[in-house]
């Protein structure tokens, strides 16, 4: 299954229409139809908007794969992280690594050999 079939299935599963989706993301229906007939492609921004609107992920629409085994909090964390700019992502990773190191130090006594 490809992007267009997944998109078509998501629109159907949400009991909505292509016209509604195109109107909500602000693209002419003719443009949306060109996407659905594989003549043109949405931009990355438009693809993300479509995914949010349909309550799915852009990753799923593009690859057909969803992160497995994540609970709602973890999905929110991943989603929020993906919205960050590169500097903020780097800072978030540094903070998480620092926190993880701190937690590890609490769990393993300092005199324990690793």
**Same-domain pairing of 59 and 81:** no
When pLDDT is cut at 50, 70 and 90, the band that residue 114 belongs to is: very low
**Same-domain pairing of 14 and 58:** yes
**Percent of the chain's residues with pLDDT above 90:** 22
Q: What angle do CA 4, 8, 12 make, to 5 degrees?
A: 170
| Cα 58 to Cα 77, 91, 101, distances in angstroms | 16, 24, 32
**Same-domain pairing of 92 and 52:** no
CA distance 65 to 46: 19
**Same-domain pairing of 47 and 15:** yes
* pLDDT exceeds 50 at position 105: no
For residue 29, being part of any structural domain is answered with yes
Q: What angle do CA 37, 42, 43 make, to 5 degrees?
A: 165
When pLDDT is cut at 50, 70 and 90, the band that residue 106 belongs to is: very low
| Cα 13 to Cα 5, 6, 81, distances in angstroms | 12, 10, 27
Number of domains in the chain: 2
pLDDT digits (tens, 9 = 90+) for 30-56: 999 998 888 888 888 998 999 989 888
**Same-domain pairing of 30 and 53:** yes
For residue 114, being part of any structural domain is answered with no
User: According to the model, what pLDDT value does residue 67 have?
Assistant: 59
For residue 21, being part of any structural domain is answered with yes
Mean per-residue pLDDT, 54-67: 80
How many helical (H) and strand (E) elements, i.e. helices and strands, does the chain have? 7, 0
Domain that holds residue 91: 72-107
């Amino acid at each position: 299954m490809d992007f267009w079939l997944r998109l078509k299935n998501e629109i159907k599963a949400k009991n909505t229409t292509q016209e509604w989706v195109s109107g909500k993301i602000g693209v002419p229906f003719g443009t949306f139809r060109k996407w659905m007939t594989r003549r043109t492609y949405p931009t990355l921004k438009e693809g993300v908007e479509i995914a949010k609107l349909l309550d799915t992920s852009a990753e799923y629409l593009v690859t057909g794969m969803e992160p497995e085994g994540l609970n709602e909090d973890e999905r929110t964390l991943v989603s929020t992280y993906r919205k960050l700019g590169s500097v903020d992502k780097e800072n978030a990773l540094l903070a998480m690594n620092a926190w993880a190191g701190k937690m590890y130090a609490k769990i393993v006594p300092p005199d324990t050999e690793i």
